[in-house]
Amino acid sequence: MIEELRKDFVKNTTQIIVSDTESRVLQSDNNILSIPTGNYLTSVHPFFYTISNLLEEPLDENYFYCVQIENLGKNYFFDIKTKIYRKSGQVALFLIDFTEHYKSVHKIKQARNESIIDFNIAQELNNELQVQRGFKNKFLANVSHEIRTPLNSIVGFIQVLQNTGLNREQLDLVNIVKSSSENLKSIVNDLLDISKIEAGRLEIKNKRFNLHLLLDELVKAHQIQAEEKRITFQFERGESLPRFIVLDRLRLNQVLVNLLDNAIKYTQVGNITFSVTTPSKNRRKIPIVFEVKDTGIGIDAENVTTIFESFTQLEKRGLFGGTGLGLSIVKQLSELMEGKIEVESVKGKGSIFRFTVEAGVSHDQKAEKKLRSRTSKSKESKNSKYRVLLGEDIEVNQLLLMRIFADHPDYSLDIAKNGEHVLKLLDHYKYDLILMDLTMPIMDGFDATARIRNHKNKHISKIPIIALSARCSDEDIEESKEVGMNGYLIKPIDERELFQTMEKLIQRYKRKGQGVS
């Protein structure tokens, strides 16, 4: 049996040829290739020219791998073993057929090569795309920053102008300028956010905060807007909604503002219902459902997904205004917060936008008490005036802050025109807080802060410092933290945010008696 199998196998896969050293065939079993006796092997394939060289080889037996030979229109791949009989001048050749094996290896190799090429091309395209995207983001960030700086003085001075005893007509005009510049400010902020999100540089910062307070503020602001359009605004707060949750307050606020603004914008008659509920209670993490329901123009079923793409607007541009960025930001923020955004809408009837997100819950009663006592403490200590030092070289900015401070009798403001000047004033007077511009001649805000933090006088070295800057790159914010600043406010300065931040830091500074961290 074995003998038969061996014969069969050899017949199908091996050919034995005996030739002379000139490659003339002396014998052949013709198992695979048919080569008549007396013919030269070199006429079958140039590979066989090697036979004449075998005499020079030191070994009698030699191996050649993967020799491709075409015979009678068929392509073979052989491994060839040669054995030379020097005395008789004869050569034995064993042609072992590995055609199937080499073909599949060849295919795999080719596929691998192609996939390497594909990968390289994809990488090349990806690099190009990244460069383009990087350029776009950089461009957006730079342009937005350039717009932000003059906006700073426009928005700020309008606030000041409003309180200068204007007559009715002047006040109406100022209000128009105010609302346009605020629109512009929010567009610039949206553009900056989109470029940050796309560059993967927007970080979600979860912290504990008072959810009820945030909702009250949102409801108040939107109730006024709704009243102006003569539509009803209802708010429903679920019974078991915790007061303190752990989430990114800033980004949650941004999602809700966008949804509520849209509801008011796209509703002409009827009502808007804002409800916030949670199905579960007494757990460490709970889902919170924020729902904004309107009786507005509604959205076609086919468009409910496209509205989340950047720059998508279903209505004719100009009819409602806007940039088509709001919902794209909402969607991307929702993803970053690991939440979910859903829409139900009927064209002409209204829409429901639902945002669901998991939030950490702090059932810690102590924290609430602490907050209450902190508010009462801050009220107590309000009897004395807070003394603030501003480091700022640009005159319009100095003027703007002086005017803003003029409306806050609990605070007084001194001005230093650069970092060096800040240090000088600190040596002569006692301050509760420093507002520090980052870019200043002679000594900039970073340098000045670093020197303050190394000051030998403990009162000076621990004083709270807030950066005021028109720049909002992560690098600047990071660097300001590294040198020891306690807060970072982006120009145009929001008056309310400025005083809230100052109050918080000064209270913490006074409570600790030795500084803030």
What is the DSSP annotation of 377-416?
HHHHGGGSPEEEEEE---HHHHHHHHHHHHT-TTEEEEEE
DSSP label of 306 = G
Q: Contact residues for ligand ADP (CB under 6 A)? A: 258, 262-263, 266, 294, 296-299, 307, 312-315, 322-328, 351
- Would you say 188 or 390 has its CB closer to ligand ADP? 188
CB of 350 to ligand ADP, least distance (A): 7
- Would you say 227 or 300 has its CB closer to ligand ADP? 300
Cis? peptide before 492, omega within 30° of 0: yes
CB of 319 to ligand ADP, least distance (A): 9
CB of 307 to ligand ADP, least distance (A): 4
3-state secondary structure of 471: coil
User: 386-391 and 411-416 as β-strands: parallel, antiparallel, unpaired?
Assistant: parallel
CB of 318 to ligand ADP, least distance (A): 11
- Would you say 287 or 324 has its CB closer to ligand ADP? 324
- Would you say 202 or 470 has its CB closer to ligand ADP? 202
Q: Long-range contact list for 194-200, CB < 8 A, 24+ apart?
A: 194/140, 194/310, 194/325, 194/328, 194/329, 195/136, 195/137, 195/140, 195/141, 195/144, 196/137, 196/141, 197/329, 197/332, 197/333, 197/336, 198/133, 198/136, 198/137, 199/133, 199/134, 199/137
- List, in sequence order, every residue forming a beta bridge with 218; answer none if it has no partner: none
- Would you say 91 or 219 has its CB closer to ligand ADP? 219
Rg of the chain over all Cα atoms, to the nearest angstrom: 40
CB of 357 to ligand ADP, least distance (A): 19
Pair 274, 255: CB distance under 8 Å: no
Amino acid at residue number 446: F
Q: Both tokens of residue 250?
A: 């800033």
CB of 107 to ligand ADP, least distance (A): 50
C-alpha span between 468 and 437 (Å, rounded):
5
CB of 197 to ligand ADP, least distance (A): 14
C-alpha span between 192 and 471 (Å, rounded):
11
**Element holding 487 (H helix, E strand):** strand 487-490
- Would you say 185 or 417 has its CB closer to ligand ADP? 185
Residue of closest CB approach to ligand ADP: 322
Other beta carbons within 10 angstroms of residue 353's beta carbon come to: 24
- Would you say 196 or 491 has its CB closer to ligand ADP? 196
- Would you say 97 or 190 has its CB closer to ligand ADP? 190
- Would you say 327 or 361 has its CB closer to ligand ADP? 327
CB of 308 to ligand ADP, least distance (A): 7
Pair 422, 434: CB distance under 8 Å: yes
- Would you say 296 or 391 has its CB closer to ligand ADP? 296
CB of 336 to ligand ADP, least distance (A): 17
CA dist 360 to 96, 207, 211, 242, 283, Å?
71, 9, 12, 10, 9
The closest of 486, 207, 502, 489 to 378, measured between CA atoms, is 502
- Would you say 264 or 485 has its CB closer to ligand ADP? 264
CB of 269 to ligand ADP, least distance (A): 13
The closest of 259, 182, 244 to 214, measured between CA atoms, is 244
- Would you say 206 or 312 has its CB closer to ligand ADP? 312
Q: Which residues neighbour 246 within 8 Å (Cβ) at sequence distance 6 or greater?
A: 206, 207, 208, 209, 359, 360, 361, 362
CB of 296 to ligand ADP, least distance (A): 5
CB of 496 to ligand ADP, least distance (A): 25
Phi-psi region of 220 (alpha: psi -120 to 50; beta: other; left: phi over 0): alpha
C-alpha span between 485 and 466 (Å, rounded):
6
Other beta carbons within 10 angstroms of residue 140's beta carbon come to: 19
